[in-house]
Amino acid sequence: MLQTSFSYDALPMRVRFGSGAVASLPDEIARLGAGRALVLCSPEQRGTGETIADALGGRSAGVLAEARMHVPIEVARHARARAAELGADCCVAVGGGSAIGLGKAIALEHDLPVVAVPTTYAGSEMTAVWGLTEDGRKRTGKDPRVLPASVLYDPELTLGLPIGMSVTSGFNAVAHAVEALYAPDRSPITSLMAEEGVRAMTEALPAVAADGGDLDARAKALYASWLCGACLGATTVSLHHKLCHALGGTLDLPHAATHTVVLPYALTYNQPAAPEAAGALSRALASPDPARRLWDLAGSLGAPRSLRELGMAESDIEPIAKQVVDAPYANPAPVTHDGLARLLRAAWSGEPPSAQD
């Protein structure tokens, strides 16, 4: 049934997509009227960050290779201070959600424009959502100041992404699209993007896993991540993301892997209450049970399928359930402590997802 009443805000950003797109980075910085770009990346991406800084020449203010998962507040504070010391007037965030999240943390404080150069499929570059972790709790919010001004999607930069990380990063992207399909502020536009994003990503990931050097498969996955990230930027997240924020912020579980594990169980929880979303996912995945199909696909690609594998203790189930139910996000199915405890226990043990009682 066509949704006939909705609102949709197009986010004001510029996108360049294609092999070699990163070569246009100096032009993008000049277009912003900026002249001193601080390059942000994780320690593991330092080499890529330094290569990009070298290519910027006199437009580079330096490299800060300190991005970490979930953007710890102390890392954000140091990056903000360093940007001010160096006189940076923009940031270039190279990498995944950690680097882009750090760029957003600087933008939130100093209003510096961010140019994002994604090398994973996280999708953060498509949103005005920021996140900071302090005292074991991850806070998130939306602010137009943190939305990247330009995004450069270059599939060649994803060729070095390890297969395991590629798979979990892809599932992270799929989670954005899944929740967009039953978000309270969804629209026909976001639903189209979400269905296509899920289809494209789940078709691309087996090809990427078979040959990480397959540039066409990498480009398809990056295209899918763009769509899924755009869904995240245009809608409100629900139970899946709330659970992952709690697990990541409190237990410091790996971000993309946590999304990969939780997704089939959160979808199983919500499928009966979101029949239109389930129908779209059935089409995208060519399966009558989208949650089980995603669980099977993760296993076939060697991805983790239990929170226990990621380091969560069984004793963490009750505290996480309480944290989520005490401050729930909008969700199609009622969020109850007993229901969350069952969901988390199943996800912790890695048993096949099945409908909640």
- CATH no. for residue 80? 3.40.50.1970
Q: How confident is the model at residue 354 (pLDDT cuts 50, 70, 90)?
A: confident
pLDDT of residue 13: 87
Are 74 and 24 part of one and the same domain? yes
Are 150 and 187 part of one and the same domain? no
Q: Is residue 355 part of a domain?
A: no
CA atoms of 321 and 262, how far apart (whole Å):
13
pLDDT of residue 323: 95
Q: How confident is the model at residue 8 (pLDDT cuts 50, 70, 90)?
A: confident
Mean pLDDT of 116-124: 95
Are 190 and 150 part of one and the same domain? no
pLDDT of residue 7: 81
Give yes or no for residue 336 having a pLDDT over 50: yes
Q: In the predicted model, what is the mean pLDDT of the chain?
A: 95
Q: How confident is the model at residue 357 (pLDDT cuts 50, 70, 90)?
A: very low
Residues 317, 323, 324, 325: is their CA dihedral positive or negative?
positive
Q: Is residue 7 part of a domain?
A: no
CA atoms of 235 and 233, how far apart (whole Å):
6
45: helix, coil or strand? helix
Are 61 and 152 part of one and the same domain? yes
Give yes or no for residue 284 having a pLDDT over 70: yes
Per-residue pLDDT tens for 148-203?
Answer: 999 999 999 999 999 999 999 999 999 999 999 999 999 999 999 999 999 999 99
What ranges make up the beta strands (E) of the chain? 14-17, 37-40, 60-64, 90-95, 114-118, 129-134, 137-142, 150-153
Q: How confident is the model at residue 356 (pLDDT cuts 50, 70, 90)?
A: low
Mean pLDDT of 323-342: 95
The total number of structural domains that make up the chain: 2
Are 235 and 122 part of one and the same domain? no
- 316-339: buried (b, 16+ CB within 10 Å) or exposed (e) per residue? bbeebbebbbeeebebbbebeeeb
Q: Is residue 26 part of a domain?
A: yes
The secondary structure of 172-226 as a DSSP string is HHHHHHHHHHT-TT--HHHHHHHHHHHHHHHHHHHHHHH-TT-HHHHHHHHHHHH
- The boundaries of the domain holding residue 41 are 14-158
Give yes or no for residue 9 having a pLDDT over 90: no
Are 151 and 187 part of one and the same domain? no
Give yes or no for residue 355 having a pLDDT over 70: no
Share above pLDDT 70 across residues of the chain, in percent, rounded to a whole number: 98
At position 133, the amino acid (one-letter code) is T
Q: Are 217 and 208 in contact (CB under 8 A)?
A: yes
Per-residue pLDDT tens for 79-106?
Answer: 999 999 999 999 999 999 999 999 999 9
Mean pLDDT of 12-41: 94
Reading phi first (left if > 0) and then psi (alpha if -120 to 50, else beta), residue 311 is in left
Are 230 and 135 part of one and the same domain? no
Are 41 and 96 part of one and the same domain? yes
